[in-house]
Chains A and B, each alone.
Chain A
Amino acid sequence: MTAVSAPSAADAPAGNPLWTFGFALIPAGITAGLLLLLPAVSAGQAVELVIPWVPSLGISAGFRVDALGLLFALMIAGIGTFVFLYAAEYMRGYANKLRFFILLTLFMVSMLGVVLADNLILMFVFWEMTTITSFLLIGFSHNKAVSRQSALQGLLVTGAGGLALLAGLLLLGIAAGSFDVSTLLADDVDVRTHGLYTAVLVLVLIGAFTKSAQFPLHFWLPNAMAAPTPVSAYLHSATMVKAGVYLLARLHPVLGGTDAWLWSLTIFGSITAVLSAIWALQQTDLKQMLAYTTVMALGTLVMFLGSGSEAGVAAAVTFLVVHALYKSSLFMVVGAIDHATGTRDRDRLSGLRRGMPIIWLIAVGAGFSMAGFPPFLGFIGKELKYEGALAVASEPWLVAAAAVLANACMVATAGLICLKPFLGSPGRFDGTPHDPPAAMLIGPLLLAAAGLATGIAPEILGTSLVGPAVQAVWGDPVVVKLKLWHGINLPLMLSLLTFAAGLAIYRYRETLRGWLTTLAARLPVTAEGAYDHAIAGFKRAAAVQTALLQTGRLSRYVSVIAMSMAGLLVLALIDGGTVGFAWVPLLHALASASLLGWTAFALIAVAVPVIIWSRSRLTCICSLGAVGVAVALLFLLHGALDVALTQLLVEILFVVLLALVLVRMPRLNQGRKPRVVRRIAAVNALAVGGLVTLTLLAILNQPFDGRVTDFFEAKSVPEGYGRNIVNVILVDFRALDTLGEIAVVAAAFLAAVAVLRIFRSAGVGPADGVGTGRPATGTAPVLPADGVPAQGSTP
């Protein structure tokens, strides 16, 4: 990935309207409202708002603010406030600012919906809305191909996960008997022993893992850095990617605690955490480094949510806050560096401390929290992580080792981001380093300061939010004490080990990067490569399928339609149980048929093969006329006088029309199909024809319900004032039908006239075309140079 989001002033209007800052009032107001709820929620109450939505399906638009939801909501709205403020300044050079802020607001609302919805279906709707708004925001610079590709990739990965999640949530609702989270959390529902548990777990995990970028579906998140930096700071560090974590935390009391839960979360989480922490060191783009450390954080969160211990959950919830504070702050720092210098390449950036002192201060504050130095909140988070790792239900060494390794890399990465660009002599970049305007400073500054303040005085955070949230995740009452000094114990030793390892990695970072780059080049399979293959394969499959079905050859289409129809008729016959009807009475009926009936049938039986095989146009016209007369005869034999009359008249018109047209057409043997195609056609024809006969006989064997006809017969004279019942039906009872029929004929007539006139008015004689493009196999068509008269052809 290359740096793509540096704003270009060329394609955008200058100036920065005040309303862009006004958007920050929305999250600020929401934050204030949420803070009002804080005392009640901290005391263990849940604020609920329920609006009936689809009561018949048990779906309500219910919202419920409990500690876990409030913790997330405060992060979303609180960090949102600063990101909005930052964006108002950052997006100065971009076009379509209004669209950007509306999308960002929509995203925020969807995200709040996810964490506050009390109904699984409602939550899913908001979940999908975050996917869509994320797609639009990643692809905000839509004129860049890389933005579009990244946006699509994010959409496909998280969208596919969303489908799995929907299935999982539906199964969960079926298993638990309710879609309301509050009901699920009540003790009397036990999904873990339900037969659907495994399916629910797998599907929900797919949804959560894709959204929260767990290996091997993590690659979309670093690519999502194609978005403008405020979007990355907001969606892809603090909020949207945490939705999966939220889901796991929310469903922990419902689904958690089993071996399947423990192992899948621990394994996927630890692999994700370690791999992405190492991979962050290989990046040169600061934003990419942050993206990989975000993946690392998500892996850590998942790993600890799987741990099955109070301490693990406490570590996850605390680290959630730690990460949100420092990561969004660092993203905004990187955005400011990019803004000032035009680059985010760590090799080119150095010596920024003189030009950007405040940014450096922020970077150090956030970076130290990231590295886990005391007295920052990050230190507490790290200590809790080690405590949680050692308390993991089974195989604590695995989690502890993963945590130490990932954290050591984190220390080094923090150094690369908050020290390396600022120290040393000025690097090779174009712009003059300068601190950004206040709007871009307030947010990161306050967030970094919050990391320090909550580190020094962690009790407030612990009792008001983290403790109750841990309790909500764990399900049972727990005591969470956040404090800086835990005494000299194993977690502290691990911390010291982490710092030492981190410093060593920082020292030998270039060597390590060389190794990693070599390794990356030699990897036989990468997750993103597999994704690309899958997409390419999907397109190939679509092409093959299209080539099979959409050949552009009419006969192929007809063939498919005929086969489908034959199949459906067979199904209908089997389904109706009418295959084995009585044959003998039918043969009797055949024998007793009148001579005229036999004559009509014989006429058809002779004329149809003639039409098929004759190459003479005249013979075909005559045979078609014969068929029409035969059908009219059959009508007549069954008392359908009007129908027979109409049939005869129409048949005469047809013959005239055909005769007029056919003499202008080439001979019929033109373009004969290969033998194979003709055989397929013959098989199709015999199959469909035979099945129509069988079906019709089966229908005629069924009892008849003549109530509608009885009605017409009874009402024809009293209500329709007519003695010809067919006529009364046509012009009275079903008059609207007849009107439609007339309209169809009129439309066909108008269309025919239009077709006849259209090419003439174009001024090019049709004969030109025929002269040059005539097929080689055809004999000379009889075609007058002046075409066909417009009138007279269509009656």
Chain B
Amino acid sequence: MDTIVALSAGLLVAGGVYLLHAPNLMRLIFGLMLLGNAANLVLLAGGRFFGAVPPLIAEGETLVAGDPANALPQALALTAIVISFGILAFAIILVLRSYQFLGTADADAMRLAEPDTAWESPGESPGESPGESPGESR
């Protein structure tokens, strides 16, 4: 079972890293989502898989019966899921608005803060640079 989780995490990370390279910001968001899932899996796996019994204590007892799952990584993963959701939701809104504002969803074409400078070889990606973005006129 460990192996399945490890393979799944690796696959998610690979997909996430590949998508992070994409110029399209939506794909970048997809990549972040995959990475977030992978991180949660790694977190949970790091606490080991002792058993499938949920860490719940029966009424009248003070200890879990049997071989319970590790509760600590679950708590950490819960926190991580919620936080990654908050951050990603913000990122999605940001991507949407920057697309509407700059007229492109291509991260490499967004050059308001770092304008293309002389040392970069021109025409490296000819189709990507918007002639002039409305943001620059502001």
Contact = CB atoms under 8 A, between A and B. Distances in A.
A662 interface: yes
B86 A748 contact: yes
Contacts of B108: 552-555, 671
Contacts of B16: 685
A639 B51 contact: yes
A640 interface: yes
Given A611-B19, A630-B8, A775 B120 contact: no
A662 B26 contact: yes
A574 to B, nearest CB: 18
Main secondary structure of the interface of B (DSSP, over half): helix
B69 to A, nearest CB: 3
Contacts of A723: 56-59
B134 to A, nearest CB: 3
A773 interface: yes
Contacts of A773: 102-104, 130-134
A713 B111 CA distance: 53
A744 interface: yes
Nearest to B93: A752
A186 interface: no
Interface in B17-39: 17-24, 26-30, 33-34, 37-38
A671 B24 contact: yes
A598 B133 CA distance: 48
Interface in B34-90: 34, 37-38, 40-42, 44-49, 51-59, 61-64, 68-72, 74-75, 77-79, 81-83, 85-90
B19 to A, nearest CB: 6
Nearest to A718: B62
A685 B24 contact: no
Instruction: Sort chain B's interface into a size bin.
Output: 35 or more
Interface string B92-103: 111111011111
A103 B22 CA distance: 55
Contacts of B45: 696, 699-700
Interface stretch (A383-391, A413-421, A531-539, A730-738): A730-738
A700 B6 contact: yes
Given A555-B22, A773-B131, A612 B55 contact: no
Interface in A717-752: 717-718, 723-726, 729-730, 734, 737-738, 741, 744-745, 747-749, 751-752
Interface string A399-439: 00000000000000000000000000000000000000000
A693 B9 contact: yes
A779 to B, nearest CB: 12
A692 B13 contact: yes
A745 B83 contact: yes
Interface in A585-601: 586-587, 589-590, 593-594, 597-598, 600-601
Nearest to B99: A665
A444 to B, nearest CB: 54
A783 interface: yes
A756 B93 contact: yes
Contacts of A543: 119
A558 B21 contact: yes
B83 A712 contact: no
A130 interface: no
A593 to B, nearest CB: 5
Contacts of A724: 55-57
Contact of A737 (B29, B79, B101, B127): B79
A661 B11 contact: no
B103 A726 contact: no
A26 interface: no
Given A552-B120, A693-B10, A772-B103, 20 more contacts: A547-B117, A601-B11, A624-B30, A638-B5, A639-B51, A639-B52, A646-B81, A647-B40, A647-B81, A674-B125, A700-B45, A706-B70, A718-B62, A726-B55, A749-B89, A769-B134, A772-B132, A772-B134, A773-B103, A788-B100
Interface of B: 1-24, 26-30, 33-34, 37-38, 40-42, 44-49, 51-59, 61-64, 68-72, 74-75, 77-79, 81-83, 85-90, 92-97, 99-109, 111, 114, 116-117, 119-120, 124-125, 127-128, 130-135, 138
14 contacts: A543-B119, A611-B15, A611-B30, A661-B95, A664-B96, A664-B99, A671-B127, A689-B11, A689-B17, A692-B38, A696-B6, A709-B71, A766-B97, A769-B134
The 4 A-B pairs at the shortest CB distance, nearest first, are namely A689-B14, A773-B103, A693-B10, A639-B69
